[in-house]
Amino acid sequence: MTSALSAILETKTNADQRFIRDLPTLARVIGQLKKKGKKIVLTQGVWDLIHEGHARYLEAAKSYGDILVVGLDSDELTRARKGPQRPIVPERERVQMLAHLRHVDIIAIRDVDHDIGHLVRLVRPDVLVT
């Protein structure tokens, strides 16, 4: 797990380590980061058609702590919330785009069977940015 933490803390994209789909693994990683004294920030959204406003928002969110966890609505959840034509950009590509933004440390998926507070309860962030 130490190499996974190192990959998360590097400035490189490391999308394979920074995208944590398995929620028990996410909880373990967050626990380890908290033990290292890291202040955890969480935000959530669809992140479809990422633009400068999204990047500025994520930069501001990161300023509240050490590790920014971004919850990404799955394709299924996005369709349920925004209609059958959404998302425009598929989930996997949205994950990759978020991983390329330097302020995003960890990406997790929020699925259709998760309520709005699911990731909040799992991550228990020091700061929640909405």
What pLDDT digit, counting tens, does each position of 41-81 carry?
A: 999 999 999 999 999 999 999 999 999 999 999 999 999 99
Angle at 101 between CA 90 and CA 82, to 5 degrees: 35
pTM here? 0.93
What pLDDT digit, counting tens, does each position of 82-127 carry?
A: 999 999 999 999 999 999 999 999 999 999 998 889 999 999 999 9
The answer on pLDDT for 11 being more than 80 is no
The answer on pLDDT for 1 being more than 80 is no
